[in-house]
Structure formats: C-alpha cells, structure tokens
Amino acid sequence: MSNNIRNGALVLADGSEFEGELIGADGVVATGEVVFNTALSGYQEIITDPSYAGQIITFTYPHIGNYGVNAIDAESRSVFCRGVIVRDLARRYSNYRSEGDLDSYLRARGIAGIAGVDTRRLTRILRSSGALAGAFGASDCATLLAAARAERGTDGVDLVSAVTTDAPYIVGEGARRIVAYDFGIKTTIVRHLAQLGTVEVVPAGTSAAEVLARRPDGVFLSNGPGDPAMLDSIVSEVAVLIGEVPMFGICLGHQIIGRALGADTIKLPFGHHGGNHPVKDLSTDRIEITSQNHNFAVDPSSFGRLGRSVRMTHVNLNDDVCEGLEVVGERCFSVQHHPEAGPGPHDSTYLFDRFADLMDGTTSDDHHQEH
C-alpha cells in the first residue's frame, strides 16, 4: 500500500461535501450513484459484483481491507462499480488466504476510492434523501459538484450490455442442461448452478428461440445492474420462455420475470445492499436472513391484473418489498434476494434445490419443508 497521502473530496448532487484521502486509481474523478452497503465482511465480493455498475459503493462498516484480497473471491472478470468509499482503510492486511492489499487491487483495475470519509453522516443523508449522484477526486468542490449533477444515475439506463458476456461458455458437467442468462452473473451463482448440471452461460441478448434450440432442462436468469424497464427486448424473449421450460430468476432476473408477466417495477429510495435482510417465506412462515443488492423491485400490487396466476412467495420484513414470486402451474419462480450469498448467510440455498426439483419434474414441497 502506498504511503503517499492524496487529499481529496466527495461531493453529492445535493451539495453535501466530505473530506478524505484518495485511494486506488490515481488521477480519476469518480462519478456515479452513491449507495451504501451494510455488510460486515465480503468487501471484495461486493466490489466485484457486476450489479454495482454505475454506482459508487459506501461501506458502512468502518474498517475495510483488513484481510486483504485474493483471486478466488472475485465475483466477476472485472470491477464494474464506479468507486469505493470507506471510513478507515486498513494499513495492514492479515489472513492466510490473502494475496494482496485492497488499495493495490483497486489501482490495478483502474478503480478510484476515497477513505477517511464520515460514512455515518453520508449514510444518514442517503437514507433520508435516497440514493444520490456523487463525485470524488482531487478536484475542487465546485468541479466535483458539477460532475455529480451531470451524472445520470441508474434510472432509465441499460447497464446490462456493459457487463454481460460476449460469447457463450460452459461450466460444470452433469445430466441436467441449464442455460443461464448473464445479465451480470456472479461467479458464486455459476458455482451453485454447476453443482446441478452442465451450465451454458449465454449473453443477455440471446433469443428465446436460441435458448430452446439448446433443449435445456432449465433456464436461469441472473442478477445484474440498472433499470429493468430499459430491457424491453430481453423481457420480450423471457416472456416467450415462461411456461416452456422450468425457470429460476435471482435479483434482476426476478425483476425481468415480473416485467415479462406484465407486472410493474419500481425504484426503491436507497435500495437494499447488505447481508442481513430478514425475509419471510410466505408458504412456510420461515424467516431467512438474506444477502441483497438491488435498487429496483417488483410491484406486487400489479399482480392482480396479470393474465397468469402469480403469487408473492417472499416478503422483506423491513419494508414489505416483494422478495419472491411464483407463476402458478408454469414451473417458474424467482427471488429478489441472493440465495448464493457471496457474501452473506446461506439460509436460502434451498432455492437451488427447488430449481433442480423443477427440472426433474418433481415437487419441491417436501424438500422445502425439511429446511
């Protein structure tokens, strides 16, 4: 880690200013939608989650970087977030798995960060005002304010095209054939799917006809960044697949399924980003602690006007946001939270078993009750 102190500032679009010390890539003015994540660990997985494309991540946990970084914990091929904000970047890292420090990791990937920020004050602003555009760097505050106010944020923006794979690839082996749409898929999700069978990960623009031509046993829709309302072409293809083949969606995949059914999606004030959100499974009344990362959500009040029978299966106990849906009789379900939990608790991993049951043509009710 460099010992050279680079003073800088963070300015939000509402004019709020914060002093700090610049870390990561040098000579960069970082701009993006500023959000906060409440996880206590897993900072490398969070930074490498493609769902953060277009966003600057604020870590509410004060000490970041203390156990270093390694190649295994990266959740994607690159870093797609716009920047990182921390209170205290660890001067030393120590862990038997570590291969380097966070500062150098960010520098190598061209990602800027700022440390020494009063993240408690920043989080209170974001919690009260909702996610705000921001900018940080070595420039004066007036320049940073102008950059923040010029930032589009994630509303009305297609960010999936920036993170999806360029070409199909295959992971795992097994009798079940799974086609997984990559809208910004996390590596941990791919690992879970690969335990179920042979997984072919395909670009976001793959047509329904191309998917069905592969004769899959199941189709998976991944997490990803941005506004689901900007993905009409993808939504149209998914609408064709619903009912044709077993389908499971997570996060953005859940929202895409909702929109493919004709449901509305809404933007939450500051989203859900963290590893401790309580979710209730409405079919069992079981409470699960979940990992989450999303700014948009499916509006369950729109289910009543849909042509299909759709029911909400999970609900967030903090704010009643729809956390899951099922298309009754169509072998299609999805959740807003992350059952793969990289990082986070593993309370919801049974959902991958449920997907396997659907592909095998068996019911998951007995298996689910066991959990």
- What SS3 string covers 166-227? CCCEEECCCCCEEEEEECCCCHHHHHHHHCCCEEEEEECCCCHHHHHHCCCCEEEECCCCCC
- Percent of the chain past pLDDT 70, that is, above it, reads 97
- Indicate which residue of 192, 273, 277, 338 is catalytic: 338
Question: Measured between alpha carbons, how far is 3 from 1 in angstroms, rounded to an integer?
Answer: 7
Q: What is the 3-state secondary structure (H, E, C) of 115-146?
A: ECCCHHHHHHHHHHHCCEEEEEECCCHHHHHH
Residue ranges of domains in the chain, CATH in brackets: 7-150 (3.50.30.20), 160-370 (3.40.50.880)
Given a cut of 90, whether residue 368 has pLDDT beyond it is no
Task: Find where tokens 């009543």 sit.
Answer: 304
* pLDDT bracket for residue 3 (50, 70, 90): low
Summarize pLDDT for 319-332 with one digit per residue, the tens.
999 999 999 999 99
Which residue in the list 251, 272, 273, 326 is annotated as catalytic? Answer: 251
Model pTM greater than 0.85? yes
Q: What is the mean pLDDT of residues 278-288?
A: 96
Per-residue pLDDT averaged across 113-130, rounded? 97
Q: Is 251 a catalytic residue?
A: yes
pLDDT reading at 1 higher than 60: no
Q: For residues 101 and 103, what is the distance between their CA atoms, to the nearest angstrom?
A: 6
Tokens of 167: 């070409």
Contacts made by residues 92-96, CB under 8 angstroms, sequence distance 24+: 92/66, 93/65, 93/66, 93/67, 93/68, 93/69, 94/66, 94/67, 94/68, 95/67, 95/68
Residue 17 has pLDDT above 80, yes or no: yes
> Over 60: is that where the pLDDT of 281 sits?
yes
Q: Are 335 and 254 in contact (CB under 8 A)?
A: yes
pLDDT at 307: 79
pLDDT band at 365 (very low <50, low <70, confident <90, very high): very low
Q: What are 183-238's pLDDT values in tens digits? A: 999 999 999 999 999 999 999 999 999 999 999 999 999 999 999 999 999 999 99
| 338 counts as catalytic | yes
Q: How many whole angstroms separate alpha carbon 119 and alpha carbon 62?
A: 8
Residue 366 pLDDT > 80, yes or no?
no
Phi-psi region at 298: left, alpha or beta (left = phi > 0; alpha = psi -120 to 50): beta
Give residue 371's pLDDT band: very low, low, confident or very high (50, 70, 90): very low
Decide if 340 is catalytic.
yes
Provide the pLDDT for residue 248: 98
What pLDDT does 362 receive?
Answer: 77
pLDDT confidence of residue 355 = 98
